[in-house]
Amino acid sequence: MRRLRLALPLMMAKIVLMPALAIRLTKRAADEYVLTCVRPDGSIARHHYGGPTAMFFPKHDLTHFVVETALGLRRGFYGLVAEGWNLADFGTPWPRGKPPVDADPVEDVVQLLDREMGAQQPWTAAEFNGFIRQFQTQHPAARPIAPVTDEMLIHLRTHLRELTAQWTALPVEQTMELSFPLAADRVFC
Protein backbone atom coordinates (compact mmCIF):
# COMPACT_ATOMS: atom_id res chain seq x y z
CA MET A 1 0.00 0.00 0.00
CA ARG A 2 1.37 3.42 -0.95
CA ARG A 3 1.63 5.99 1.79
CA LEU A 4 0.78 9.61 1.23
CA ARG A 5 3.49 12.01 2.37
CA LEU A 6 2.04 15.19 3.78
CA ALA A 7 3.85 18.47 3.22
CA LEU A 8 1.99 20.08 6.14
CA PRO A 9 2.29 19.14 9.79
CA LEU A 10 -0.20 16.38 10.58
CA MET A 11 -2.43 18.58 12.73
CA MET A 12 -2.82 21.04 9.83
CA ALA A 13 -3.60 18.39 7.21
CA LYS A 14 -7.14 18.24 5.92
CA ILE A 15 -8.35 14.83 4.87
CA VAL A 16 -11.07 14.74 2.23
CA LEU A 17 -12.82 11.45 1.66
CA MET A 18 -14.43 10.97 -1.72
CA PRO A 19 -17.90 9.45 -1.59
CA ALA A 20 -17.96 5.86 -2.71
CA LEU A 21 -20.38 3.02 -3.28
CA ALA A 22 -19.36 -0.08 -1.32
CA ILE A 23 -19.81 -3.18 -3.48
CA ARG A 24 -19.97 -6.52 -1.70
CA LEU A 25 -20.00 -9.79 -3.60
CA THR A 26 -20.85 -12.72 -1.34
CA LYS A 27 -20.31 -16.30 -2.41
CA ARG A 28 -22.96 -18.64 -1.05
CA ALA A 29 -23.37 -22.27 -2.09
CA ALA A 30 -22.07 -23.31 -5.52
CA ASP A 31 -25.17 -21.92 -7.19
CA GLU A 32 -25.82 -18.84 -5.06
CA TYR A 33 -24.38 -15.32 -5.14
CA VAL A 34 -25.43 -12.08 -3.41
CA LEU A 35 -24.56 -8.60 -4.66
CA THR A 36 -24.92 -5.86 -2.05
CA CYS A 37 -24.29 -2.19 -2.73
CA VAL A 38 -24.13 0.27 0.16
CA ARG A 39 -24.64 3.87 -0.90
CA PRO A 40 -22.85 6.77 0.82
CA ASP A 41 -26.11 7.65 2.61
CA GLY A 42 -26.20 4.14 4.12
CA SER A 43 -29.10 2.83 2.03
CA ILE A 44 -28.66 -0.63 0.55
CA ALA A 45 -29.42 -2.31 -2.77
CA ARG A 46 -29.20 -6.11 -2.68
CA HIS A 47 -29.95 -8.94 -5.07
CA HIS A 48 -29.71 -12.68 -4.55
CA TYR A 49 -28.86 -14.81 -7.59
CA GLY A 50 -29.52 -18.52 -7.66
CA GLY A 51 -29.12 -21.27 -10.23
CA PRO A 52 -27.39 -20.64 -13.55
CA THR A 53 -27.36 -16.84 -13.12
CA ALA A 54 -25.23 -17.26 -10.00
CA MET A 55 -22.43 -18.59 -12.20
CA PHE A 56 -22.63 -15.71 -14.71
CA PHE A 57 -23.27 -12.57 -12.68
CA PRO A 58 -20.25 -12.36 -10.35
CA LYS A 59 -17.85 -12.07 -13.29
CA HIS A 60 -20.25 -9.78 -15.17
CA ASP A 61 -20.55 -7.50 -12.12
CA LEU A 62 -16.76 -7.47 -11.74
CA THR A 63 -16.47 -6.53 -15.43
CA HIS A 64 -18.80 -3.58 -14.78
CA PHE A 65 -16.59 -2.50 -11.89
CA VAL A 66 -13.39 -2.69 -13.96
CA VAL A 67 -14.84 -0.90 -17.00
CA GLU A 68 -16.63 1.81 -15.05
CA THR A 69 -13.67 2.61 -12.79
CA ALA A 70 -10.95 2.45 -15.47
CA LEU A 71 -12.87 4.48 -18.04
CA GLY A 72 -14.30 6.96 -15.53
CA LEU A 73 -17.90 6.08 -16.36
CA ARG A 74 -19.85 7.36 -13.37
CA ARG A 75 -23.37 7.02 -14.77
CA GLY A 76 -23.22 3.34 -15.70
CA PHE A 77 -24.59 0.43 -13.68
CA TYR A 78 -22.87 1.23 -10.37
CA GLY A 79 -23.37 4.98 -10.77
CA LEU A 80 -27.11 4.50 -11.22
CA VAL A 81 -27.22 2.20 -8.19
CA ALA A 82 -25.47 4.94 -6.21
CA GLU A 83 -28.13 7.39 -7.44
CA GLY A 84 -30.88 5.18 -6.01
CA TRP A 85 -31.64 2.53 -8.60
CA ASN A 86 -32.33 -0.92 -7.15
CA LEU A 87 -30.60 -3.94 -8.63
CA ALA A 88 -33.96 -5.36 -9.76
CA ASP A 89 -34.53 -2.16 -11.80
CA PHE A 90 -32.05 -3.37 -14.42
CA GLY A 91 -33.58 -5.69 -16.97
CA THR A 92 -36.98 -6.97 -17.96
CA PRO A 93 -39.59 -5.78 -17.04
CA TRP A 94 -37.62 -2.58 -16.28
CA PRO A 95 -39.75 -1.53 -13.28
CA ARG A 96 -38.09 1.89 -13.17
CA GLY A 97 -38.00 2.26 -16.95
CA LYS A 98 -34.98 2.08 -19.21
CA PRO A 99 -31.79 3.80 -18.01
CA PRO A 100 -31.75 7.55 -18.62
CA VAL A 101 -30.56 8.71 -22.03
CA ASP A 102 -27.62 10.50 -20.42
CA ALA A 103 -26.47 7.32 -18.65
CA ASP A 104 -23.13 5.89 -19.74
CA PRO A 105 -23.63 3.08 -22.28
CA VAL A 106 -21.37 0.82 -20.27
CA GLU A 107 -23.35 -2.39 -20.81
CA ASP A 108 -22.13 -2.61 -24.40
CA VAL A 109 -18.47 -2.28 -23.38
CA VAL A 110 -19.01 -4.89 -20.65
CA GLN A 111 -20.65 -7.26 -23.14
CA LEU A 112 -17.73 -6.78 -25.53
CA LEU A 113 -15.28 -7.79 -22.80
CA ASP A 114 -17.51 -10.70 -21.72
CA ARG A 115 -17.60 -11.96 -25.33
CA GLU A 116 -13.87 -11.45 -25.77
CA MET A 117 -13.03 -13.33 -22.56
CA GLY A 118 -15.43 -16.14 -23.49
CA ALA A 119 -13.82 -16.52 -26.91
CA GLN A 120 -10.33 -16.19 -25.39
CA GLN A 121 -9.36 -14.16 -28.44
CA PRO A 122 -8.29 -10.61 -27.51
CA TRP A 123 -9.36 -7.84 -29.82
CA THR A 124 -7.15 -4.96 -30.83
CA ALA A 125 -8.10 -1.45 -29.78
CA ALA A 126 -9.10 -0.75 -33.39
CA GLU A 127 -11.52 -3.71 -33.39
CA PHE A 128 -12.87 -2.79 -29.96
CA ASN A 129 -13.38 0.85 -30.97
CA GLY A 130 -15.10 -0.33 -34.16
CA PHE A 131 -17.68 -2.17 -32.06
CA ILE A 132 -18.17 0.92 -29.88
CA ARG A 133 -18.60 3.16 -32.96
CA GLN A 134 -21.12 0.68 -34.36
CA PHE A 135 -23.13 0.84 -31.13
CA GLN A 136 -22.97 4.63 -31.05
CA THR A 137 -24.23 4.82 -34.64
CA GLN A 138 -27.22 2.67 -33.67
CA HIS A 139 -27.82 4.71 -30.47
CA PRO A 140 -27.02 8.34 -31.32
CA ALA A 141 -28.62 9.68 -28.10
CA ALA A 142 -26.25 7.64 -25.90
CA ARG A 143 -23.33 9.40 -24.24
CA PRO A 144 -20.16 8.89 -26.28
CA ILE A 145 -17.37 6.69 -24.99
CA ALA A 146 -13.87 7.89 -25.77
CA PRO A 147 -11.78 5.48 -27.84
CA VAL A 148 -9.64 2.99 -25.94
CA THR A 149 -6.00 2.18 -26.61
CA ASP A 150 -4.28 -1.19 -26.62
CA GLU A 151 -2.68 -0.18 -23.31
CA MET A 152 -6.12 0.49 -21.80
CA LEU A 153 -7.41 -2.88 -22.98
CA ILE A 154 -4.41 -4.62 -21.42
CA HIS A 155 -5.16 -2.81 -18.14
CA LEU A 156 -8.86 -3.77 -18.30
CA ARG A 157 -8.08 -7.42 -19.02
CA THR A 158 -5.37 -7.65 -16.35
CA HIS A 159 -7.52 -6.06 -13.65
CA LEU A 160 -10.48 -8.24 -14.60
CA ARG A 161 -8.37 -11.42 -14.47
CA GLU A 162 -7.02 -10.41 -11.04
CA LEU A 163 -10.49 -9.74 -9.61
CA THR A 164 -11.91 -12.90 -11.17
CA ALA A 165 -9.09 -14.96 -9.62
CA GLN A 166 -9.82 -13.39 -6.22
CA TRP A 167 -13.51 -14.25 -6.64
CA THR A 168 -12.74 -17.82 -7.69
CA ALA A 169 -10.45 -18.33 -4.68
CA LEU A 170 -12.97 -16.82 -2.26
CA PRO A 171 -14.35 -19.47 0.11
CA VAL A 172 -18.10 -20.05 0.36
CA GLU A 173 -19.85 -17.67 2.80
CA GLN A 174 -17.11 -15.07 2.36
CA THR A 175 -17.44 -11.59 0.88
CA MET A 176 -15.27 -9.67 -1.56
CA GLU A 177 -15.56 -5.90 -1.10
CA LEU A 178 -14.79 -3.20 -3.66
CA SER A 179 -15.08 0.56 -3.47
CA PHE A 180 -16.57 2.40 -6.45
CA PRO A 181 -15.58 6.10 -6.37
CA LEU A 182 -18.48 8.36 -7.31
CA ALA A 183 -16.36 11.31 -8.36
CA ALA A 184 -13.22 10.42 -10.26
CA ASP A 185 -11.54 10.91 -13.57
CA ARG A 186 -10.79 8.26 -16.08
CA VAL A 187 -7.75 6.18 -15.12
CA PHE A 188 -6.45 6.68 -18.65
CA CYS A 189 -6.48 10.20 -20.08
pLDDT at 167 over 90: yes
Q: Return left, alpha or beta for 111; rule: phi > 0 is left, psi -120 to 50 is alpha, else beta.
A: alpha
Output the pLDDT for position 18. 58
pLDDT at 185 over 80: no
Q: Return left, alpha or beta for 173; rule: phi > 0 is left, psi -120 to 50 is alpha, else beta.
A: left
Residues 116-154: pLDDT tens digits?
Answer: 887 788 889 999 999 888 888 887 777 788 889 999 999
Average of per-residue pLDDT across 161-184: 93
Name residue 16's beta-bridge partners. Answer: none
pLDDT band at 54 (very low <50, low <70, confident <90, very high): confident
Residues 59-68: pLDDT tens digits?
Answer: 999 999 999 9
Per this entry, what is the length of the chain?
189
The domain limits of the chain are 56-172
CA angle in degrees (0–180, nearest 5) for 51-56-60: 145
- As a whole-number percent, the residues of the chain with pLDDT over 70 amount to 87
Is residue 87 within 8 A of residue 45, CB to CB? The reply is: yes
Is residue 145 within 8 A of residue 105, CB to CB? The reply is: yes
CB environment 142-162: b (16+ within 10 A), e (fewer): bbebeebeeebbebbeebbee
CA distance 26 to 36: 8
